[in-house]
Amino acid sequence: MRLFRRFIHKPGLPPGTLVAPEEKVARKPEISIFHYQESNYTEKIIDINDITESKSTPAVSWINVNGLGDIEILKRLGERFDIHELTLEDVLNLDQRPKFEEHDAYNFLVLKMLYFNKAKTDIESEQVSMVLTGNAALSFQERPGDVFDIIRERIRKGKGRVRKFGPDYLVYALMDAIVDNYFVVLETLGNSIENIETEVVENPTTQTSATIHSLRRKILLLRRSIWPLREVINGFMRSESAFINKESQLFLRDLYDHTIQVIETLETFREMLTGMLDVYLSASGNRMNEIMKVLTIISTLFIPLGFMAGLYGMNFKYMPELEWKWGYPVLLGVMAASVGAFLLYFRKRKWI
């Protein structure tokens, strides 16, 4: 993840001016629509002109837009569902904080979908916006993804409660699918953290601290996507707007609990990593101590010996020891004694 995705809006443009995110323009957006009620459902891929058509449906409608490269679609949807242009600007602005807004005609939600991209071994995030009106839910994704497929499947097969409840339950189900996916990301992160933990304690390398830093960075950026969610779901749950039925609130409370758990896990991960860097530093200090001990032991043993040998290598004319018969063996004995004394000293200090 980059620290900074892109600008909120082009500085200088009046607020509410719609500008398609540059990197999205190329790909053509795909619009799918579901109409369902308890007994049946229809599903189609629609054209931009079909958006305004089906106004009078009594059933629940779910319009999903994949790709944000065409602002015309947003304008049409905005007109049909009476969406404020600041909201439409927020849909296009992909560096939004997760948020919940109540408007008279609809409720608006922004969330972050998170993936673990195995190829880049990085976490990627995608913005999902949702608009909830009395009998429709609109969802906007940056690119086609498979997280919502399980909801589509449930609608098609009439599994679970989704067909029995209104669009508020649908929005809940979509959010639940997103939050469930956070746990997959957390598990991957948790495994990385447990690996680095073993590495720190058992076999730290010079790469270890960079890896710890990179995990911390990921968690820092994840927090920005996940922390506000707590507030978002709480706001949505406690909202007194007419679009949310009482039965759905029980499910939202469950979702809220899950979000708290994601946040707490993230915080635990973070404290863990902070602690690990300290352990790494102390391990690094210990290795240094080991290296220095070896150097000191070798130097302490041999430098004095070297001096003694040098002493009797001198060429003074009058050095009586050199003439002694036992001079050489006695010196060897002195050397051995000196080594022994130092070894005892090191043992006493617990260096060897």
* Window 57-96: residues binding a copy of itself (CB under 8 A): 84, 86, 90, 95-96
Burial of 75 (C-beta count, 10 Å sphere; 0-12/13-18/19+): middle
* Residue 156 binds a copy of itself, judged by CB under 8 A: no
Site for a copy of itself in 245-274 (CB under 8 A): 250-251, 253-254, 257-258, 260-261, 264-265, 268-269, 271-272
Q: Does 278 bind a copy of itself (CB under 8 A)?
A: yes
Place of tokens 């998170």: 114
Among residues 50, 134, 184, 352, the one that binds a copy of itself under rule CB under 8 A: 184
With contacts defined by CB under 8 A, name the span among 27-35, 50-58, 61-69, 315-323 that binds a copy of itself: 315-323
Beta strand 107-117 with 122-132 is: antiparallel
Nearest to 334 by CA among 302, 305, 300, 297: 305
The H-assigned helical ranges of the chain are: 71-81, 85-92, 149-157, 167-202, 208-238, 246-311, 320-323, 327-348
**Residue number with CB closer to a copy of itself (16 or 134):** 16
Q: How far apart, in whole angstroms, are the C-alpha atoms of residue 346 and residue 335?
A: 17
CB of 38 to a copy of itself, least distance (A): 15
- Candidate ranges 10-18, 21-29, 63-71, 132-140; the one touching a copy of itself (CB under 8 A): 10-18
The distance of closest approach from Cβ of residue 95 to a copy of itself in the complex, given in angstroms and rounded to an integer, is 7
Contact (CB, 8 A) for 201 and 67: no
Is residue 1 a contact residue for a copy of itself (CB under 8 A)?
no
Within residues 200-219, the interface with a copy of itself by CB under 8 A covers: 201, 206, 209-210, 212-213, 216-217
- d(Cα 298, Cα 289) in Å, to the nearest integer? 14
The total number of residues shown for the chain amounts to 352
Q: How far is the CB of 251 from a copy of itself (least distance, A)?
A: 6
